[in-house]
Structures are given as structure tokens and as C-alpha cells.
Structure 1
Amino acid sequence: MTILPTVLITGASTGIGAAYAERFARRGHDLVLVARDQARLETLAARLRQETGAAVDILVADLTQPGDLAAVEKRLREDARIGTLVNNAGAALSGPFIDQRTDDVARLVALNTTALVRLSSAIAPRLVQAGQGAIINISSVVGLAPEFGMSVYGATKAFVLFLSQGLSLELSPKGVYVQAVLPAGTRTEIWERAGIPVNAMSDFMGVDELVDAALLGFDRRELVTIPPLQDGAHWEALNKARQTLIGDIRQAQVAERYRTTN
């Protein structure tokens, strides 16, 4: 009998994280759910235990707090049953950069990047030693588009994409699959918390639709899954253009256009 790996999901009490929890539980996986809201975690865990028979543990943690983050890292290092990490916890900030409080910006970066890196670092060596496992990182299409005007949020999501691509190159030969998922606007509480009225947005994607598409990409072992992208060839073209640009870099040679004073 095949024993499926336990899945640890951050930001699991609502939205995308809760949808991942339900989908993985229905696939037969046990869960470790991480979020700040204990009441919501307990309600979700109880429902999933009853409906799916999954074993569901909860870890109440604020991943911007070093002690809480360390507790989740410890679980990832020591619990050999956990074979999949879903780095979903994240936040957004509304308004222009000059209007955002420095402490709020720092907190956003800590949650969207530092926590994600530390949790990935905590589990990756063990997965490599086992020769199997997966890390799912929730990025965003905003990370591809500074034109959207969410500079810090977009920068954190660009970081998540870059990190995922780099980790994939490092870890996939060792049996560990890394997937970056890039939603566009999705109906989650992240926007309300940032002061953006999501209910007024008619063209936002539903959470269930987003996660079902992301898991199809997971099953296909896509490295980058962009559910709202209508023509996948556009991503391939962008990636090819990036590789072409890299091939044109001469590390020890200044480009001709910088050798003239005109």
C-alpha cells in the first residue's frame, strides 16, 4: 500500500490555502495546516477530518514572528511524513510606495519572501535525502508586471518566481519537484486586508477554479503554472527571449553601444 506524503500548507485558514487543504485531503493526504487564526484552522481541520478521514494537524503561527516561524521550520525538518510544502501565506499592500509605512513594507517582505525561503530551506535537505517530494510556491502575475503599480508586492512575487526556477534547476535532478503558481486577481481576503475592495471586482478568478488549475499543472509537473494565461506560448516565448538575452551577455566585454561618447 502506497503511503501518500503529508502536506504542510501555510496561510491555510482561508482562500487559496484552504482550497489546497481540501483538495489534498480529498486526494488522500494527511495535512499540517499553518495560519494565525486558530478558530478558523480548527473549524477547517474538523470538517476535513469528518469529510475525508484525513489526519489534520494545526500549527497556529504568525510567520512574520521569528519564534513562530522557527516552530514551523522545526516541524518541516523533523517530521519525515511531510513530503510536500505549499508556501501560500502572503500579504499585499495598497497605494503608492511613498504612502506605505516602512514597517508595513518590511512586514510584507518578511512574510512573502523571508518566511518562504526559510521554510523551503528547512524542508529541502530532507526531501533531497529522501530523493522525492515537492515544494509549491504561490507567486503572482504581478511579479511579471511593474506596470501594475504594486511595486513592493510585485517585487516579492518576482522573487518567488525566480527562487522557484532556481530551486527547480538545483533540486529536480535530485528528485524534488518545485512548482511556481502565478495567479492573477483571485477572490481572497488578501485584497480586503490591503484595503482593496475585491467584491467590487467583477473579473477576479474564484479560488476553487484557481487551485484546480494549479493542481492540474502540479500533476503535469509544470515548473511554472499560470492559470489565467490564455495562450501558454506567450510564457514560452518570454522564457526563450530571456535565455536569448543571457546568451548575448559577454561578461568581460562592454557592449559597443557603451563605447561611444555620442
Structure 2
Amino acid sequence: MNRPAAVLITGSSTGIGATYAARFAQRGHDLVLVARDKARLDVLAQQLSEKFDVTVEVLPADLTNQDDLLRVERKLRDDERIGVLINNAGMGQSGSFLDQDAQRIEQMIALNVTSVTRLAAAIAPRLVNNGDGAIVNIGSVVGLAPEFSMSIYGATKSYVQFLSQGLQIELGPRGVYVQAVLPAATRTELWDRAGIDVSRLAEMMDVEELVDAALVGYDRREPITIPPLHVEERWASLQTARQALIGDLKQGQAAARYRQ
């Protein structure tokens, strides 16, 4: 029996990434764990390898650092064992648009947008050549809701959703599955890092429930999985309305309401 493909998971020292690592290890996948905190990665790697008898490689990296990002890209391009990429690493936004400084804006875009895109681009050619594999990008329902007043973070997550949908259209027919997972508020350390007081939030999903739901969508090969969305038809209606809007575009001339 062939061993399942290895899985590279970014942001895997805690929270969603660490839970994905445990779930894929339980399924018999070898792992490559990527995060900044080597000590935590080492502990998690030892726990998972002993419990599930899988090989767990640790690859410490800060994905906002160009040299580190290049090392992870090389790993994805060159390691034929890796057949699944979980693009989980990300950072949140504390405060309004006016509260952000240039450094934090650059870091958020570098981690939430640039690294996600470059890592997907690094592995995609090899997966297409093999006609198999998967790319999972962790987005957010905030990317659907400018009303939440997290403009930069929401814009980065909207990008992740759009990228994932586009890649599924391009790569899906060539054997590569692409999934975007859109969590709502989930119990992870991201809130503390962003300086957000979680006690203000009325509800929050446990990370295990979030990842288990996301993996149901993964096994069903859903292009978009939204674990907190209880009325599934809302998403289908949104896509139908979006496609109708595209069908109504007439690019040869402006709409009558704009002509005087």
C-alpha cells in the first residue's frame, strides 16, 4: 500500500495549524511543520511522531522574511513526498485602518497574501505534473464582510478566497484540488497576538471543531468550506447572483445611468 502524501502546514506550532497537523498525522500522513517557534514545533513533532508513527520534519521559518520564504518554496518545489499544502499562517488586525502603521500593513500583506500566493505557486507545477494533490488556503468570513471594520485583514482574506476560487478553476481540471476554508471567530492565539480582547465576542468556535468541519469539506472536495455558515443555500445564492451580475456586464459601452 502506498503511503499517503506528506503534508506541509504553515503556522503549525499552535491553533488551527497544529490541529491540522494532528488530524493529518492521525490519517497516516507524514508532516512538514513550518512556523517561527522552533521549540514549539519540536515538541509537537515529537508528540505526533510517537503517537501516530509518522515522520515529522520541522522547518522553522518566518514567512515575512524573504530568505525563510525562499527556503520553504524550495522545499515545496523539490520534495516529491509533499502532496498537500495547508496555507494557514496569518496575522490579524487590531484597531481601525487609521490605527495601522506602515510596518504592520507590510507584515500583514506579506504573510496573508504574498506568502500564500508564493507557496501555492511553488508547489502547483509539481502537483499539476503529477495530476494529483491539494492546496488548502485558510481565509476568513471577514473577507465577505467590510461591515466588520477590519479593512486590511478582510481585504487580505478576500484575496485568499478569490485566489483559491481561481486556482480551483485553473488547476482542478488538471487533478489538483484547491479549497478555501472560511472560519469565523475561532479560539486561537491569533487574538492575543493582534491585541484583541476575545471577551468582547459573543461566540467563538473551538479550533478542533473548526478543523474537523473543514476536513469534512476537504473530503467532499468542496471548493469553499464555511464551517460557521448554517444556511448552506446562502452561499449558493451568492454565487448565483455573482454569476448573473457578470452576465449583465456589457463592456462595449457604459450603462445608461452613467451616460448624459
TM-score range, shorter chain: over 0.9
Measured at CA, do residues 39 and 202 of structure 1 come closer, stay the same or move farther in structure 2, by a change above 3 Å? farther
The SS at the match of 2:63 is coil
CA–CA distance in structure 2, aligned partners of residues 187 and 201 of structure 1: 11
Matched, 1:224 2:224: yes
Deviation at 1:259, TM superposition (A): 1.2
Aligned partners of 2:252, 2:104: CA distance in 1, in Å?
Answer: 41
1:122 maps to amino acid: A
Q: CA deviation at 1:201?
A: 3.4
Pairwise CA distance, 1:98: 1.0
- What CA distance in whole angstroms lies between the structure 2 residues aligned with 1:209 and 1:227? 9
Question: Normalising to structure 2: TM-score of the pair?
Answer: 0.99
* Counterpart AA for 1:255: A
Aligned to 1:14: 14
Partner residue in 2 for 1:256: 256
Q: Which residue of 1 aligns with 2:42?
A: 42
Q: Which amino acid aligns with 1:164?
A: S
> Which residue identity lines up with residue 8 of structure 2 in the other structure?
L
TM-score, length of structure 1 as denominator length: 0.98
Report the AA paired with residue 65 of structure 1. Answer: N
Could you tell me which runs of 5 or more consecutive residues in structure 2 were left unpaired when the two chains were aligned.
none
For residue 58 of structure 2, give the secondary structure of its aligned residue in structure 1: strand
Residue 36 of structure 2 corresponds to residue 53 of structure 1 = no
Q: How many matched pairs?
A: 260
1:61-100 equivalences under 5 Å are 61-100=61-100
SS of the equivalent of 2:183 reads coil
Which letter maps to 2:230? Q
Residues 17-166 of structure 1: matches in 2 within 5 Å?
A: 17-166=17-166
Question: Percent same amino acid among aligned pairs?
Answer: 61
CA distance, structure 2, for counterparts of residue 147 and residue 33 of structure 1: 35
Letter in 1 for 2:125: P
Offset, 1:198: 2.3
Which amino acid in the other structure matches residue 214 of structure 1? A
Equivalences for residues 198-213 of structure 1 within 5 A: 198-199=198-199, 201-213=201-213
CA–CA separation in structure 1 for the residues paired with 2:188 and 2:252? 48
Q: 2:5 is matched with which residue?
A: 5
Q: Deviations over 1:202-221 (max 9, x none)?
A: 51100000000000000000
Question: Helix, strand or coil for the counterpart of 2:94?
Answer: coil
- 1:93 Cα deviation after fit: 1.5
Partner SS state of residue 33, structure 2: strand
Which runs of structure 1 show a deviation greater than 3 angstroms over 4 or more consecutive aligned residues?
A: 199-202
Tell me whether 1:168 sits opposite 2:142 in the alignment: no
1:95-152 C-alpha deviation (Å, 9 max, x unpaired)? 0111111110111000000000000000000000000000000000000000000000
Distance between the aligned counterparts of 2:229 and 2:51, measured in 1?
33
The one-letter code sitting in structure 1 at the alignment partner of 2:90 is G
Q: CA offset at residue 200 of structure 1?
A: 5.2
Residues 25-48 of structure 1 deviation map (CA, whole Å, 9 limit, x = unaligned): 000000000000011000000000
How many angstroms apart in 1 are the aligned matches of 2:223 and 2:249?
Answer: 25
Cα distance in 2, alignment partners of residues 197 and 258 from structure 1: 45
Cα distance in 2 for partners of 1:200, 1:164 equals 31
> Match of 1:86, as an amino acid?
I
Between the aligned partners of 2:213 and 2:35, the Cα distance in structure 1 is 23
Structure 1 residue 254, shift from structure 2 partner = 1.0
SS in 1 for 2:93: coil
